[in-house]
Amino acid sequence: MEDVIVVKDLKIRYKCMKPTSVKRNLLHFRRSKVEKFEALHGVSFSVQKGDVVGIVGKNGSGKSTMLNAIAGIFSPDEGTIELATDSVGLMSLGVGFQRQMTGRENVLISGMLLGFSEKEIRAQMDDIIEFAGLGKFIDMPVRTYSSGMHSKLAFAITVVLKPEILLIDEVLSVGDANFKKKSFAKIKELIADKNRTVLIVSHSMDSLRQLCNKILWLHEGNMMKIGPTDEVLAEYEAFMA
């Protein structure tokens, strides 16, 4: 099978300002010290076309950082990420929307960022709006949305437009019971297409067992293991226990 995602020796660092008081800075004419935190420590793995890979690890292990890097939101400090396609969609809370624009306007912008033409997006607009179920809020600024509404719209845009690489960051549990059921069914429909590759960050072991054929386990920025779902989850759960 063809490799569609190849990550080699990936390191990503964040700059952290060391806490200090404004008064102290003014008195001593010094800037706050900047410290660097390395979120990923030389991670390497590959994903093949049609794989559905769950990413697990305790909070702070680098899971969301990894997805953001693959989506092109974060740039590697060291190492490389090679993708076989530019059609990559990230579903994540609080990422990608222009808050002053309406939901409808954000559908167009988000779709274009996924590589679709305006004509293609408008042809799917009604389906996106229906799936999101936001009613009149679709023509209101996104800044007026709750986090749940924001997530519903992000989910709808991505699953209706169907990018070749789909990245899902903890949004399988958003919305009410009906939306969760509809979302889970839509994801199962999408991953049935063996030309689509999916990476899912989730703390729901049941969901990962149902959806994924592989698991990538991260721990404190290091890759512990990647392999068959049942095998890796069993080791992960024993480790966390």
Residue 225: the pLDDT is: 96
Structure-block tokens of residue 229: 């779902």
Residue 150: the pLDDT is: 85
Of the listed ranges 34-48, 173-187, 200-214, 221-235, the one predicted with least confidence: 173-187
pLDDT level of residue 230 (50, 70, 90 thresholds): very high
CA distance 125 to 131: 10
- Give the three-state DSSP class for 32: coil
Mean pLDDT of 174-196: 81
Structure-block tokens of residue 135: 């009613």
Examine the pLDDT at 48 and tell me if it is beyond 90.
yes
Mean pLDDT of 97-116: 89
Q: 167: Cβ–Cβ under 8 A, 6 or more apart, which residues?
A: 67, 70, 71, 88, 89, 90, 91, 92, 198, 199
pLDDT level of residue 106 (50, 70, 90 thresholds): very high
Laid out side by side, the sheet with 3-17 consists of 34-48, 3-17, 78-83
Examine the pLDDT at 4 and tell me if it is beyond 80.
yes
Examine the pLDDT at 26 and tell me if it is beyond 80.
no
Examine the pLDDT at 231 and tell me if it is beyond 60.
yes
Query: How large a percentage of the chain has pLDDT more than 90?
Result: 56
- The closest alpha carbon to 132, from 174, 89, 189, 168, belongs to 174
The DSSP 8-state label assigned to residue 33 in this structure reads P
Residue 86: the pLDDT is: 85
According to DSSP, the residues that pair with 7 across neighbouring strands are: 45, 81
Examine the pLDDT at 135 and tell me if it is beyond 60.
yes
Of the listed ranges 43-57, 69-83, 87-101, 196-210, the one predicted with least confidence: 87-101
For residue 225, count CB atoms less than 10 angstroms from its CB and return exposed for 0-12, middle for 13-18, buried for 19 or more: middle
Laid out side by side, the sheet with 214-219 consists of 88-92, 165-169, 197-201, 52-56, 214-219, 222-228
Task: Check: pTM over 0.95? Answer yes or no.
Answer: no
**Which stretches of the chain are assigned E, i.e. beta strand?**
3-17, 34-48, 52-56, 78-83, 88-92, 165-169, 197-201, 214-219, 222-228
Q: Residues 152, 132: contact at Cβ < 8 Å?
A: yes
The DSSP 8-state label assigned to residue 138 in this structure reads G
pLDDT digits (tens, 9 = 90+) for 155-177: 888 889 888 999 988 766 666 77
Backbone angles phi, psi at 178, to 5 degrees: -65, -40
Mean pLDDT of 126-133: 94
CA distance 219 to 134: 37
Residue 28: the pLDDT is: 59
CB neighbours of residue 195 within 10 Å: 9
Residue 82: the pLDDT is: 97
Q: Residues 16, 197: contact at Cβ < 8 Å?
A: no
